[in-house]
């Protein structure tokens, strides 16, 4: 069938093909899925530490600013890695399907090696793929970064980590507006990086303030999240005492993170949000070769 008329696949299928596979095999599955869509990903590789980031860029030339949508595809050993983070990958492959015939200043990066490679009771070091990316790329051209984690279950958008001084960030305002337009309830959360982190952090370290992570959680669990966060203390975290996290965060990194817990409707909800978000960017300085095509 001509790829132009290809129907979008159920996004959950992308979760099940990644599930229970190691990092190398998960990367191969992403490349296969992108190739089936008629896209040619590029790679950012490092031999040591071994990293392979997979990139699809829809940005036309000449260009100025662009929006980055990212999700890590690697997995913690011993976990099937469905919600963390085959779900984020699936939503981004869905976005690739929707954008495949467009020239828009959107770049999609599937990050390798987000999960910790050094884990002790006190220290947890990961984010290698995204740190390598920010080290080797110009951050001046990045308007915003929306990183996806845990998108496979729930009907309430979690935007994190946001502390009180970040409430006015343009990236946050835009995603809230997009959620409102879809009737999607949202909650911001100020999650300590010691408890939970993700690839937004590498961009913030490099000075990109408009870098957020988007997740989904069931509405009735949003209050539980707020309660667990209020019970946190630095001392408790340092001594390994974690509050009970709400669903679906309670099963991440465990053998229970399977696709049985993933809903197609949640994955579609995240995809709808991303599609609603893109046109809210008036990326100044962006010039379309034809003068009108691809203007967003």
Residues engaged in binding Zn ion (CB under 5 A): 84-85, 149
Nearer to Zn ion, 98 or 250 (CB): 250
- SS3 of 128, please? helix
Tokens of 49: 């530490």
Q: In the complex, what is the shortest distance from the CB of residue 116 to Zn ion, in angstroms, rounded to a whole number?
A: 10
Q: 149, 198 in Cβ contact below 8 A? A: yes
Q: In the complex, what is the shortest distance from the CB of residue 198 to Zn ion, in angstroms, rounded to a whole number?
A: 6
Nearer to Zn ion, 84 or 112 (CB): 84
Q: In the complex, what is the shortest distance from the CB of residue 72 to Zn ion, in angstroms, rounded to a whole number?
A: 6
For the chain, list the strands marked E by DSSP. Answer: 42-46, 51-57, 66-72, 106-111, 118-119, 124-125, 142-148, 156-160, 186-188, 211-217
Nearer to Zn ion, 239 or 254 (CB): 254
Q: In the complex, what is the shortest distance from the CB of residue 196 to Zn ion, in angstroms, rounded to a whole number?
A: 9
Nearer to Zn ion, 25 or 180 (CB): 25
Q: Report the C-alpha gap between 261 and 151 in whole angstroms.
A: 11
Q: Report the C-alpha gap between 32 and 239 in whole angstroms.
A: 43
Q: What is the CA radius of gyration of the chain?
A: 18
Nearer to Zn ion, 85 or 202 (CB): 85
Q: In the complex, what is the shortest distance from the CB of residue 89 to Zn ion, in angstroms, rounded to a whole number?
A: 10
């Amino acid at each position: 069938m001509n790829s132009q008329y290809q129907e979008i696949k159920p996004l959950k299928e992308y979760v099940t093909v990644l599930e229970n596979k190691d990092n190398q095999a998960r990367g191969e599955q992403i490349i296969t899925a992108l190739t089936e869509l008629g896209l040619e990903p590029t790679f950012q590789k490092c031999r040591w530490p071994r990293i392979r980031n997979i990139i699809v860029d829809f940005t036309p030339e000449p260009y100025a600013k662009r929006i980055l949508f990212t999700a890590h595809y690697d997995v913690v050993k011993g976990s099937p890695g469905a919600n963390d983070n085959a779900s984020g990958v699936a939503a981004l492959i869905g976005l690739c399907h929707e954008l495949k015939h467009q020239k828009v200043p959107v770049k999609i990066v599937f990050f390798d090696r987000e999960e910790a490679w050094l884990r002790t009771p006190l220290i947890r070091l990961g984010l290698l793929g995204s740190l390598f990316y920010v080290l080797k790329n110009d951050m001046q051209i990045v308007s915003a970064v929306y990183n996806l984690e845990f998108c496979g279950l729930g009907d309430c958008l979690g935007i994190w980590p946001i502390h009180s001084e970040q409430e006015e960030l343009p990236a946050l305002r835009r995603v809230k507006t997009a959620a409102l337009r879809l009737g999607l309830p949202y909650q911001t959360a100020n999650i300590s990086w010691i408890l939970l982190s993700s690839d937004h952090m590498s961009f913030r370290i490099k000075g990109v303030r408009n870098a957020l992570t988007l997740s989904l959680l069931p509405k009735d669990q949003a209050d539980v999240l707020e309660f667990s966060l209020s019970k946190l203390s630095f001392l408790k975290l340092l001594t390994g005492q974690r509050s009970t996290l709400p669903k679906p965060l309670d099963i991440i990194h465990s053998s229970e993170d399977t696709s049985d817990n993933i809903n197609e409707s949640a994955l579609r909800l995240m995809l709808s949000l991303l599609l609603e978000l893109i046109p809210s960017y008036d990326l100044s300085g962006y010039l379309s070769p034809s003068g009108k095509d691809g203007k967003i």
